[in-house]
Chain A
């Protein structure tokens, strides 16, 4: 173990420009921190009640009192965006967890279940790929009815085949690696090899994959809310806010621009973090 560390350290010793985060990484981490605060203690970022109705103040543009303006009932858009963070992220993260877990199950079955199971899982993935994008999610919603919980499950299910394909590939790579080979030669049982050698090594890429996927899941879930199939408008979820603000797009652009900006920034931040994690865990470039 230590010898290996030394060797890889020696190999990469030439350009020692280690772990100095780039500007984009600093931005991504700062934004994720902001999201975390908005989720856990929203009161720290905004003192205005997100549901306080003030009909006199309806449709005010961005100003020092209302940073992101006010909506049709005079509610403060900034504090609603902050209040909606927890719902939007909860849906996005849960959907990703569902997708990655299903993908992991399918991937492990394919990677370790013998040729027949591998073949059938592969065909299953291929079939699920024929429901591109939101199509599988829409099918799930037709069956189970609209709502935030169904939307979460629907997004999780429709991302699962993509994860399964990547995980299967990674497991295959690990399985044919030198250290698994030597563990087998040493006489370790298949279960021990799976739990002690393969899964720990598959875990880091899996975390990266999940980080990259959260942005996508947030986008899809808010798309469903936007279409009226996920979280419903009185809720401060970002997609639902966008959907409610769509009616006033000609007169009050701030109702749609700011919640959408949060979705875009979340996606960019998770992508940047996922990529830098990829680079750091893979140890190349």
Chain B
């Protein structure tokens, strides 16, 4: 809270430089987190009881001979000292090589490369739909008197409490089994995307709408709204042009978290709707204890999540000048 009058002129001049410096620091932090995630995963996986070479050959029941075990150890680099294995794994990661699947014997990066598209399409569609629902709901519930507020809050609370796996089964029971409008299995057609998207979007919309309603209510008392009212702008104009833009800021910065939430939800949703994607692959790999695929998906999701948080932070900075000016003060 020191008066920044003395430093304001140089700060003004170096705004572009400050932006670049902010980005570099942020990217450095992101690379650190990614490295830590990779390291943590690498060593956590070593805690799995049993011989990884046996796991490659299908578990302790496979009765593999000593030669085959040795051969597998050599192929997968399991005979090397741990430190060497770790450095090898990191080196391979830098080139995008995530190792070879135990069960399927194919490169993990090829496998995941084929799956990530479907999951990202699903997650981004769900994010947009959730945003739309949250916007409509929060504008309606803050503008329609006490009944609308109570009903709106009830809807938010209920939809935020709906677990994906239950919502999915109920939607299938209603729209596929009873009405027969939509396929219960997610096909490549747009109709097949509807139920999985709704399953992911409705609970998220509940969360986002709660956040947006609260900021919207706070914003409607802000001085700039009062002055807009004093200028004679219509209540709807104020709501849409001033307050809503302001109220979406916290929800924008939540989008990074939301995308992670959606990808995690995709594990359940893709399994129920038999939709190919990262989530279903991950669940199958967890069940089979296919370690390279599990670590591959975890790293990939962490990468997407980290990129997304940097992007949303940058977006909030661009949209809200107060964030940029806040760090100009020492």
Q: Which residues of A contact B (CB under 8 A)?
A: 24, 123, 126-127, 129-135, 138-139, 141-143, 215, 219, 222-223, 226-229, 239, 242, 246, 249-251, 253, 256-257, 260, 263-264, 267-268, 271-272
Contact = CB atoms under 8 A, between A and B. Distances in A.
A267 B162 CA distance: 8
Given A134-B264, A253-B177, 18 more contacts: A126-B33, A129-B305, A130-B37, A131-B301, A132-B264, A133-B261, A143-B45, A215-B161, A223-B165, A223-B268, A226-B165, A242-B166, A256-B170, A257-B170, A264-B166, A267-B161, A268-B161, A271-B160
Contact of B177 (A138, A226, A249, A264): A249
Contact of A272 (B48, B157, B265): B157
A160 B41 CA distance: 17
Nearest to B34: A130
A133 B36 contact: no
Contacts of A239: 165
Contact of B40 (A127, A132, A215, A271): A127
B239 to A, nearest CB: 22
Contact of B305 (A132, A215, A256, A260): A132
Contacts of A268: 157-158, 161
Contacts of B261: 132-133
Contacts of A260: 163, 165-166, 169-170
A271 B170 CA distance: 22
16 contacts: A24-B154, A129-B305, A134-B264, A134-B267, A135-B263, A135-B301, A139-B44, A226-B268, A227-B271, A229-B286, A260-B163, A264-B158, A264-B161, A267-B161, A268-B161, A272-B157
A256 B166 contact: yes
Nearest to A124: B36
B276 interface: no
Nearest to A126: B33
Given A242-B166, A263-B166, A142 B286 contact: yes
B231 to A, nearest CB: 30
A24 B155 CA distance: 13
B173 interface: yes
Contacts of A246: 169, 272
Place the interface of chain B in its size category.
35 or more
Nearest to A251: B177
A242 B305 contact: no
A147 B287 CA distance: 12
Interface in B82-100: none
B286 A130 contact: no
Interface of A is mostly: helix
A142 B165 contact: no
A229 B267 CA distance: 13
Nearest to A222: B163
B227 to A, nearest CB: 26
Contacts of B32: 123
A131 B283 CA distance: 15
Interface in B268-302: 268, 271-272, 282-283, 285-287, 289, 291, 294, 298, 301-302
Contacts of B213: none
Nearest to B203: A219
A130 B310 CA distance: 12
Interface in B111-169: 154, 157-158, 160-166, 169
B169 A143 contact: no
Nearest to B282: A138
Nearest to A220: B163
A216 to B, nearest CB: 9
Nearest to A253: B173
Most chain A CB atoms below 10 A, which of B29, B165, B184, B268: B165
A90 B268 CA distance: 23
Contacts of A219: 161, 163
A246 B184 CA distance: 12
Interface string B230-271: 000000000000000000000000000101110111011001
B169 A264 contact: no
B1 interface: no
Contact of B157 (A226, A242, A250, A271): A271
B298 A256 contact: no
Interface in B159-193: 160-166, 169-170, 172-173, 176-177, 184
